[in-house]
Amino acid sequence: MKVLLTLALAAFALSLSVRAEDATWIDPAKAAAEDPDFSIQGEYGSGKPGADWGLQVVALGDGRFDGYLLEDGLPGLGWERGKRRLKLSGERKGDTTTLKGGEVEVRIKDEVAGFAIDGKAHMMSRIERESPTLGAKPPEGAVVLFDGTSADAWNNGQMDGDLLVNSDAISKQKFDAYTLHLEFRTPYKPHARGQKRGNSGVYHQGRYETQILDSFGLEGRSNEAGGIYSVADPKLNMCLPPLAWQTYDVDFTGPKWKDGKKVENARITVRLNGVLIHENQELPKSTAAAKFKESPEPGPIYLQHHGNPIRFRNIWVVPGEAAD
Residue 268 sits in the same domain as residue 160: yes
Phi first, then psi, for residue 103 (nearest 5°) are -95, 5
Asked whether residue 161 is domain-assigned, the answer is: yes
C-alpha distance from residue 219 to each of 8, 68, 82, 235 (Å): 40, 10, 11, 10
pLDDT in tens, 11-61: 444 444 445 668 999 999 999 999 999 999 999 999 999 999 999 999 999
Asked whether residue 240 is domain-assigned, the answer is: yes
Residue 294 sits in the same domain as residue 155: yes
Asked whether residue 181 is domain-assigned, the answer is: yes
Q: Which of 65, 100, 127 is the last residue of a domain?
A: 127
- List, in sequence order, the alpha helices (H) in the chain: 2-22, 28-34
Residue 251 sits in the same domain as residue 159: yes
Radius of gyration of the CA atoms of the chain, in A? 21
pLDDT in tens, 265-309: 999 999 999 999 999 999 999 998 899 999 999 999 999 998 899
Residue 166 sits in the same domain as residue 287: yes
Exposed, middle or buried: residue 95 (CB in 10 Å: 0-12, 13-18, 19+)? exposed
Task: Report residue 194 CA to chain centroid gap.
Answer: 12
C-alpha distance from residue 96 to each of 99, 211, 303 (Å): 10, 35, 40
Asked whether residue 138 is domain-assigned, the answer is: no
User: Do 56 and 216 form a contact (C-beta atoms < 8 A)?
Assistant: yes
Residue 210 sits in the same domain as residue 304: yes
Find the domain containing 192 and state its range.
Answer: 143-319
Q: Which of 87, 103, 127 is the last residue of a domain?
A: 127
> Within a 13 Å sphere around the CA of 182, how many CA atoms are in the beta-carbon half?
30
CA-wise closest residue to 306 among 287, 293, 278: 287
- pLDDT confidence of residue 22: 81
- For residue 100, give the CATH number of its domain: 2.40.128
Residue 83 sits in the same domain as residue 155: no
* Strands of the 169-171 sheet, one edge to the other: 154-155, 169-171, 302-305, 200-204, 208-212
C-alpha distance from residue 254 to each of 143, 153, 249 (Å): 18, 21, 16
Residue 55 sits in the same domain as residue 189: no
Reading phi first (left if > 0) and then psi (alpha if -120 to 50, else beta), residue 172 is in: alpha
Asked whether residue 118 is domain-assigned, the answer is: yes
Residue 93 sits in the same domain as residue 187: no
Euclidean distance between CA atoms 185 and 213, whole angstroms: 10
Residue 118 sits in the same domain as residue 151: no
* DSSP secondary structure, 145-158, as one string: EESSS--TTEET-E
- pLDDT confidence of residue 196: 84
Please, what is the end-to-end C-alpha distance for the chain in angstroms? 76
Asked whether residue 17 is domain-assigned, the answer is: no
- For residue 195, give the CATH number of its domain: 2.60.120.560
Residue 46 sits in the same domain as residue 148: no
Total count of domains within the chain: 2
Parts of the chain with a pLDDT under 50: 3-18
Residue 221 sits in the same domain as residue 251: yes
